[in-house]
Amino acid sequence: MEWFIMMTFISGGVRSGKSRFAEQLAEQDAQARGGPLFYLATAATPQEPEMQARIRWHQQDRGTAWITLEEPVALNAILPRLQPNSTLLLDCLTLWSSQVMFASDLSLEEAIKQLSAFIQALADQHIHLIVVSNDINECLPPTECKLLNYVNFLQSLHQCLTAQADQAIQMLSGCAYYWKGG
Amino acid sequence: MEWFIMMTFISGGVRSGKSRFAEQLAEQDAQARGGPLFYLATAATPQEPEMQARIRWHQQDRGTAWITLEEPVALNAILPRLQPNSTLLLDCLTLWSSQVMFASDLSLEEAIKQLSAFIQALADQHIHLIVVSNDINECLPPTECKLLNYVNFLQSLHQCLTAQADQAIQMLSGCAYYWKGG
Amino acid sequence: MEWFIMMTFISGGVRSGKSRFAEQLAEQDAQARGGPLFYLATAATPQEPEMQARIRWHQQDRGTAWITLEEPVALNAILPRLQPNSTLLLDCLTLWSSQVMFASDLSLEEAIKQLSAFIQALADQHIHLIVVSNDINECLPPTECKLLNYVNFLQSLHQCLTAQADQAIQMLSGCAYYWKGG
């Protein structure tokens, strides 16, 4: 029996090539396993036509190999729709975390608990989870308290994911640097 | 016949030591080739006396080995002033890209096209191009649409340059890390 | 006689795991030397009860092995309270630099001079200095002049420290990357 990587965490700044790299990684992984390829979109359906168009464009661009699931908050809700030994790309954690923090008012401890339970449930089914997120902390901390809390919230989740990940990757201008498991 | 590196891309945050490192690299390169050393300043002449003084100080600090050219937008316009087998430092792309995006209203596609044509024209003449730019994407995305577009614009150019570069380097506190071609 | 590292510089973004990593490093270092372990808190006592609580929590969390000193500006003032062959963690430079720049109105040259004299005085006593600071420069430069000056000020101090450091480390999501002396 082969050994497969169970969790990969990919972070980087805006337009650093994170999503493209993650999609290629997921496609290669699914091909190696011979299993299905799931895409978990965390965006609540946006109001802006521009954003809707960008989402449609991304979906078409990914091609027919992908099964797209949508869930803005309750990650566990998608578990029944997955299959064992598959590959799941969650893009992106940044959006999910802003939604659980601002709309669902989850505490950091609760968010970490939910995320960890989700990771464990996937690992139990030999599903490779690939998580994409944005680094937003290499700057002057925002003066607005709500935004500073969000930076702290998201970056604490990053630490939690990196600790649990088999691979942790940072993207810079389309280049991948392996912080863990390279 | 020797092989020379044709394009080097150096990025980093504000005061990360990018320019100093790039200047040393360019000087070493010109010495190894025995060719002239050009500096392409992309700043439109600034209004502020402080900025004017800083530019003059930088120019004097670089010393007499350098031939300084100034061109805020039309990169190709400087081609007739260069010589084959020379070294050209473009400092910095951040400024150029803000000028072509905001003042000249160029699309990303058009900017990539112009930049790639410039790179090709230099490679044809065996001119080593060293490009310096700022990483501005490891933070909360700006809420103002125009600024967000600019971050996307610049970081997409970074990806384009990194893909074409023989060497891609990120600076952190005066230390160079080679993402590509180290 | 053994050789000990004399200065370590650790930077990273908000919630990147800098402080925890620095504390572990300091504890290991003190254990290896058999010397005392000092913590230099640079925070002027904050107004906000939340911040006061966070400081108390951190102090308790560090445990009884640590001797905590407090000094927001005049680093040299703590020298008489230290002992040779000890370990000193300064957390963090970001706060110190904002205080010397905004409250004490020190120039960058003067700040570098004070910091370098402090480092030298510690090295003379075989005290290992570990400095923690925030990277705040991978973003659009702030438009407000005072803030931009601060980014320049702090990042210039980072370059100064990195140049003098035996080890320079950047933290990303709890992972340490050695830029120098790894």
Look at residue A3 in the predicted model and tell me its pLDDT: 58
Indicate whether A1 belongs to any domain.
Answer: no
Is B180 annotated among the ligand-binding residues?
Answer: no
Residue in C141, C151, C162 nearest the CB of B175: C162
Compute the mean pLDDT over every residue in chain C, rounded to the nearest whole number.
93
Asked if A174's CB is within 8 angstroms of B163's CB, the reply is yes
Residues of B in contact with A135 (CB under 8 A): 138
A144 close to C (CB below 8 A): no
Phi-psi region of B144 (alpha: psi -120 to 50; beta: other; left: phi over 0): beta
| pLDDT tens track for C136-147 | 999 999 999 999
Q: How many CB pairs under 8 A join B and C?
A: 62
Indicate whether C118 belongs to any domain.
Answer: yes
The Cα of C35 is separated from the nearest Cα of chain A by a number of Å equal to 31
Indicate whether C123 belongs to any domain.
Answer: yes
Mean pLDDT lowest for which of A32-46, A158-172, B76-90, C96-110? A32-46
**Residue C53 pLDDT greater than 90, yes or no:** no
Q: Give the chains touching B; criterion: ≥3 Cβ pairs < 8 Å.
A: A, C
Structure token digits, residue B34: 């025995």
Asked if C15's CB is within 8 angstroms of A137's CB, the reply is yes
Look at residue A1 in the predicted model and tell me its pLDDT: 39
Indicate whether C1 belongs to any domain.
Answer: no
CA distance C69 to C90: 10
Asked if A151's CB is within 8 angstroms of C14's CB, the reply is yes
Helices (H), C16-144: 18-33, 49-62, 93-98, 108-124
Q: Does the complex come out with an ipTM higher than 0.85?
A: yes
Look at residue A76 in the predicted model and tell me its pLDDT: 96
Look at residue B53 in the predicted model and tell me its pLDDT: 83
Residue in C141, C148, C155 nearest the CB of B16: C155
Indicate whether B2 belongs to any domain.
Answer: no
Read off the pTM.
0.92
Task: Give Cβ neighbours of residue A117 (< 8 Å, ≥ 6 apart).
Answer: A76
Look at residue A50 in the predicted model and tell me its pLDDT: 79
| pLDDT tens track for A65-117 | 999 999 999 999 999 999 999 999 999 999 999 999 998 999 999 999 999 99
A179 close to C (CB below 8 A): yes
Q: Which residues of C participate in catalysis according to the annotation?
A: 58
C98 close to B (CB below 8 A): no
Q: Is B158 noted as a catalytic residue in this protein?
A: no
Contacts 24+ apart (CB under 8 A), C119-125: C119/C7, C119/C164, C121/C76, C121/C79, C122/C6, C122/C7, C122/C79, C122/C82, C122/C88, C123/C6, C123/C7, C125/C82, C125/C83, C125/C84, C125/C85, C125/C86
Indicate whether A88 belongs to any domain.
Answer: yes
Q: Measure CA A29 to chain center.
A: 16
Cβ neighbours of C102 (radius 10 Å): 13
Note down pLDDT in tens along chain B; length 182 residues.
455 789 999 999 999 999 999 999 999 999 999 999 999 999 877 777 877 887 788 788 888 899 999 999 999 999 999 999 999 999 999 999 999 999 899 999 999 999 999 999 999 999 999 999 999 999 999 999 999 999 999 999 999 999 999 999 999 999 999 999 98
Indicate whether B151 belongs to any domain.
Answer: yes
**Residue A140 pLDDT greater than 80, yes or no:** yes
A57 close to C (CB below 8 A): no
Phi-psi region of C12 (alpha: psi -120 to 50; beta: other; left: phi over 0): left
The Cα of B21 is separated from the nearest Cα of chain A by a number of Å equal to 19
Q: How confident is the model at residue C3 (pLDDT cuts 50, 70, 90)?
A: low
B178 close to C (CB below 8 A): no
Residues of B in contact with C182 (CB under 8 A): none
A66 bridge partner residues: A37
Is A34 annotated among the ligand-binding residues?
Answer: no
B7 bridge partner residues: B129
How many CA atoms within 13 Å lie on the side-chain side of B29? 26
**Residue C2 pLDDT greater than 60, yes or no:** no
Give the residue with greater pLDDT, A43 vs A110.
A110
> 3-state class of A132 per DSSP?
strand
CA distance A165 to A130: 9
Asked if C151's CB is within 8 angstroms of B173's CB, the reply is no
**Residue C132 pLDDT greater than 60, yes or no:** yes
Where in the sequence is the domain holding A170, given as residue range(s)? 7-139+147-180
Mean local confidence (pLDDT), C62-72: 91
Look at residue C1 in the predicted model and tell me its pLDDT: 39
Q: How confident is the model at residue C5 (pLDDT cuts 50, 70, 90)?
A: confident
The Cα of B6 is separated from the nearest Cα of chain C by a number of Å equal to 26
C-alpha closest to that of C9 among C181, C127, C179, C169: C169
**Residue A2 pLDDT greater than 80, yes or no:** no
Number of independent structural domains in chain B:
1
Look at residue B63 in the predicted model and tell me its pLDDT: 82
B139 close to C (CB below 8 A): yes
Report the C-alpha dihedral over residues C133, C134, C137, C143, rounded to 10 degrees: -110
Look at residue C156 in the predicted model and tell me its pLDDT: 97
Mean local confidence (pLDDT), C30-42: 95
| pLDDT tens track for C88-116 | 999 999 999 999 999 899 999 999 999 99
Look at residue B1 in the predicted model and tell me its pLDDT: 40
The percent of residues in chain C predicted with pLDDT above 70, rounded, is 98
B149 close to A (CB below 8 A): no
Asked if A137's CB is within 8 angstroms of C13's CB, the reply is yes
Residue in B15, B137, B150 nearest the CB of C155: B15
Question: Which residues 61-90 in chain C show a CB within 8 A of chain B?
Answer: none
Indicate whether A159 belongs to any domain.
Answer: yes
Is B18 annotated among the ligand-binding residues?
Answer: yes
The Cα of B158 is separated from the nearest Cα of chain A by a number of Å equal to 6
Q: Kindly report the CATH number assigned to the domain that includes residue C98.
A: 3.40.50.300
Residue A126 identity: H
B152 close to A (CB below 8 A): yes
